[in-house]
């Protein structure tokens, strides 16, 4: 019978303040739960969004982190999908394979534990984390990877090929999969299609990679930081545009529509900026162009366009975790990485430790970081 474990975790005590490194207690997993020794967690801007206080599903005190990989340490009763010792990637988008959503064949947005995950608790409504005073800490995105041990629902993790280096494939727990999947599953980019991507972070560059793997034609990346051009080209961009530098009195959409003989087949917003979302939609080709929103906008923000943009055939859609069903499809992404088909390691610019998580967060805001992986 598994016992509570004491370990180190970075705790969000107050929004907008540094995370607090604390010794916490991680309870034994209950029915349909798994306790994981987290080995690596990469820092993602979604953690920062929540840490800033802008996320309506962010709570204090909580353990953030959601791009994680580790080893199954113990399993609760009724768990048959993983076993102790399995090497796993944690899934903030679970897959129960039983709910209406999972069975629909139309979405990856499993809803089996959606309500409790959004409230920062396990499916039974309680927490497995307690601080030194015994007070409960909230979970985050069903993962909480900024702790050396975490407890997740058995539908929120997937065992992967033991040959995969977990310090690399942890990136498949969010950024890389989100972008590649958005291009290949949500948009289903085909050979020769034209694509434009706003935002050359890990997600944007992964859209580029996903499109290039499909043999897209022109792949245009837009970013306000010129240093991202080299990155964009390395992942397959054919063009790089700094929107602040275009020599034109036209809007960026008009400029792109002219440049691409009527607009793009697919456009992707990876910025979370609602003005960019509109530009991306209006840069899509009349009659068939699709614009996919990936970036998460600040709470309360709304998007707008003239309805005629949609009447005339453009499609506005969105994508979370790239439309990827984690337990069914993520192992294949790991195989593609192991076979050298999918770039993953290439996004890692920095390494750090849990103890130095604040340094990692600093470097992430410096603009010089693509992905920083924490060795837990
Ligand atoms: O409502 O079913 C649901 C789950 C929505 C999850 C959306 C998560 C979006 C996180 C985006 C991270 C992008 C890097
Ligand atoms: Zn489901």
Ligand nearest to the CA of 112: 2
- In angstroms, rounded to a whole number, what is the distance separating the alpha carbons of residues 349 and 289? 34
Q: Where are the beta strands (DSSP E) in the chain?
A: 5-11, 20-26, 33-42, 67-75, 87-90, 129-130, 136-137, 149-153, 157-159, 195-198, 219-222, 239-241, 266-269, 290-293, 315-318, 348-353, 371-375
| Token pair for 51 | 């840490």
> Which residues are placed with Cβ below 5 angstroms of ligand 2, an ion?
96, 99, 102, 110, 112
Same fold, 5-173+343-375 and 176-320: no
- In angstroms, rounded to a whole number, what is the distance separating the alpha carbons of residues 179 and 177? 5
Q: What spacing in Å lies between the alpha carbon of 134 and ligand 1's midpoint? A: 30
The answer to whether 102 is a known catalytic residue is yes
SS3 157: strand
**Span 323-352, mean pLDDT?**
98
pLDDT-based confidence at residue 6 (cuts at 50, 70, 90): very high
- Picking from 323, 332, 321, the residue whose alpha carbon sits closest to that of residue 185 is 323
Q: What spacing in Å lies between the alpha carbon of 103 and ligand 2's midpoint? A: 7
What pLDDT is attached to residue 15?
97
Ligand nearest to the CA of 101: 2
- In angstroms, rounded to a whole number, what is the distance separating the alpha carbons of residues 22 and 188? 44
**Span 296-320, mean pLDDT?**
96
| Token pair for 321 | 């975790």
CA distances, 160 to each of 88, 201, 309 (Å): 6, 25, 43
With 90 as the cut, is the pLDDT of residue 248 above it?
Answer: no
Q: What spacing in Å lies between the alpha carbon of 109 and ligand 2's midpoint? A: 7
Q: What spacing in Å lies between the alpha carbon of 158 and ligand 1's midpoint? A: 18
**Span 100-107, mean pLDDT?**
98
Give the residue, out of 66, 90, 273, 321, with the most ligand 1 atoms within 8 A of its beta carbon, to mutate for a pocket test.
321
Query: What is the rounded average pLDDT for all residues in the chain?
Result: 97
Q: pTM score, two decimals?
A: 0.97
The answer to whether 372 is a known catalytic residue is no
Using CB distances shorter than 6 Å, the residues near ligand 1 are 44, 46, 109, 111, 114, 174-175, 178, 203, 296, 320
pLDDT-based confidence at residue 204 (cuts at 50, 70, 90): very high
The answer to whether 87 is a known catalytic residue is no
Q: Whose CA is nearest to atom 12 of ligand 1?
A: 46
pLDDT in tens, 60-72: 999 999 999 999 9
Q: What spacing in Å lies between the alpha carbon of 321 and ligand 1's midpoint? A: 7
Give the residue, out of 273, 297, 320, 322, with the most ligand 1 atoms within 8 A of its beta carbon, to mutate for a pocket test.
320
Q: Whose CA is nearest to atom 4 of ligand 1?
A: 109
The answer to whether 114 is a known catalytic residue is yes
What pLDDT is attached to residue 299?
86
- In angstroms, rounded to a whole number, what is the distance separating the alpha carbons of residues 325 and 263? 31
Tokens 């050979």 belong to residue: 191
**Span 308-319, mean pLDDT?**
98
Q: Whose CA is nearest to atom 14 of ligand 1?
A: 175
| Token pair for 231 | 């990155």
What pLDDT is attached to residue 118?
96
Q: Which CATH fold topology does 176-320 show?
A: Rossmann fold (3.40.50)
- In angstroms, rounded to a whole number, what is the distance separating the alpha carbons of residues 293 and 229? 22
| Residue 256 φ then ψ, to 5° | -70, -40
pLDDT over 90, % of the chain: 95
The answer to whether 44 is a known catalytic residue is yes
Give the residue, out of 93, 117, 145, 273, with the most ligand 1 atoms within 8 A of its beta carbon, to mutate for a pocket test.
93
Q: Give yes or no for a cis peptide into 61 (omega within 30° of 0).
A: yes
What pLDDT is attached to residue 366?
85
With 90 as the cut, is the pLDDT of residue 1 above it?
Answer: no
175-196 burial string, b = 16+ CB within 10 Å, else e? bbbbbbbbbbbbbebeeebbbb
Domains of the chain by residue range: 5-173+343-375, 176-320
Q: What's the complex ipTM?
A: 0.96
pLDDT in tens, 257-292: 999 999 999 999 999 999 999 999 999 999 999 999
Ligand nearest to the CA of 100: 2
**How many residues in total does the chain contain?**
376
145-174 burial string, b = 16+ CB within 10 Å, else e? bbbbbbbbbbbbbbbbeeebebbbbbbbbb
With 80 as the cut, is the pLDDT of residue 102 above it?
Answer: yes
Q: Which one from 25, 99, 130, 254 is the annotated catalytic residue?
A: 99
The answer to whether 13 is a known catalytic residue is no
Domain 5-173+343-375 = CATH 3.90.180.10: yes
Q: Look at 186 and 300; give whichever has higher pLDDT.
A: 186
Ligand nearest to the CA of 141: 1
- Picking from 25, 67, 16, the residue whose alpha carbon sits closest to that of residue 46 is 67
The answer to whether 66 is a known catalytic residue is yes
With 80 as the cut, is the pLDDT of residue 307 above it?
Answer: yes
**Alpha-helical runs (H) found in the chain:** 45-52, 100-104, 114-118, 166-169, 175-181, 202-213, 228-234, 252-259, 274-282, 308-311, 326-338, 357-365
What pLDDT is attached to residue 191?
98
199-227 burial string, b = 16+ CB within 10 Å, else e? bbbbbbbbbbbbbbbbebebbbbbbeeee
Residue 338 class from Cβ within 10 Å (0-12 exposed, 13-18 middle, 19+ buried)? middle
Q: What spacing in Å lies between the alpha carbon of 253 and ligand 2's midpoint? A: 38
- Among the listed ranges 37-41, 192-196, 242-246, 279-283, which one has the minimum average pLDDT value? 242-246
Q: Look at 57 and 116; give whichever has higher pLDDT.
A: 116
Q: Which one from 35, 41, 50, 96 is the annotated catalytic residue?
A: 96
CB 271 within 8 A of CB 303: no
pLDDT-based confidence at residue 56 (cuts at 50, 70, 90): confident
| Token pair for 228 | 């991202």
Counting from 1 in the atom list of ligand 1, the atom nearest the Cα of 295 is: 13
CB 68 within 8 A of CB 91: no
| Residue 209 φ then ψ, to 5° | -60, -45
- In angstroms, rounded to a whole number, what is the distance separating the alpha carbons of residues 32 and 301? 37
């Amino acid at each position: 019978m598994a016992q509570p474990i004491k370990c180190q975790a970075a705790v969000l005590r107050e929004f907008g303040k540094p995370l607090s490194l604390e010794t916490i207690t991680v309870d034994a997993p209950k029915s349909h739960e798994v306790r994981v020794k987290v080995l690596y967690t990469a820092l993602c801007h979604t953690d920062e969004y929540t840490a800033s206080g802008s996320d309506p599903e962010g709570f204090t005190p909580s353990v953030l982190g959601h791009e994680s990989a580790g080893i199954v340490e113990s399993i609760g009763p009724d768990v048959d999908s993983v076993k102790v010792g399995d090497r796993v990637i944690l899934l903030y988008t679970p897959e129960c394979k039983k709910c209406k959503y999972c069975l629909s064949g139309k979405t990856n947005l499993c809803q089996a534990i959606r309500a409790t995950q959004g409230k920062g608790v396990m499916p039974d409504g309680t927490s497995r984390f307690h601080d030194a005073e015994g007070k409960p800490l909230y979970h985050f995105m069903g993962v909480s990877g900024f702790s050396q041990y975490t407890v997740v629902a058995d539908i929120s993790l997937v065992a992967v090929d033991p040959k995969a280096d977990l310090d690399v494939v942890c990136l498949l727990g969010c950024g890389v999969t989100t972008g590649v999947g958005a291009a290949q599953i949500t948009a289903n980019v085909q050979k020769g299609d034209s694509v434009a991507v706003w935002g050359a972070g890990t997600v944007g560059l992964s859209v580029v990679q996903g499109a290039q793997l499909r043999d897209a034609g022109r792949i245009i990346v837009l970013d306000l930081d010129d240093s991202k051009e080299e990155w964009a080209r390395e992942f397959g961009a054919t063009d790089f545009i700094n929107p602040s530098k275009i020599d034109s009195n036209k809007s960026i959409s008009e400029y792109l529509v002219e440049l691409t003989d009527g607009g793009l087949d697919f456009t992707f917003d990876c910025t979370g900026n609602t003005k960019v979302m509109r530009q991306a939609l209006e840069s899509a080709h009349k009659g068939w162009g699709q614009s996919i929103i990936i970036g998460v906008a600040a709470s309360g923000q709304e998007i707008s366009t003239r309805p005629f943009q949609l009447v005339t055939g453009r499609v506005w859609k969105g994508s979370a975790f790239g439309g990827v069903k984690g337990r069914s499809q993520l192992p294949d992404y790991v195989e593609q990485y192991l076979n050298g088909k999918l770039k993953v390691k290439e996004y890692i610019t920095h390494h750090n430790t849990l103890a130095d998580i604040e340094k990692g967060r600093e470097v992430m805001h410096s603009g010089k970081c693509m992905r920083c992986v924490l060795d837990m």
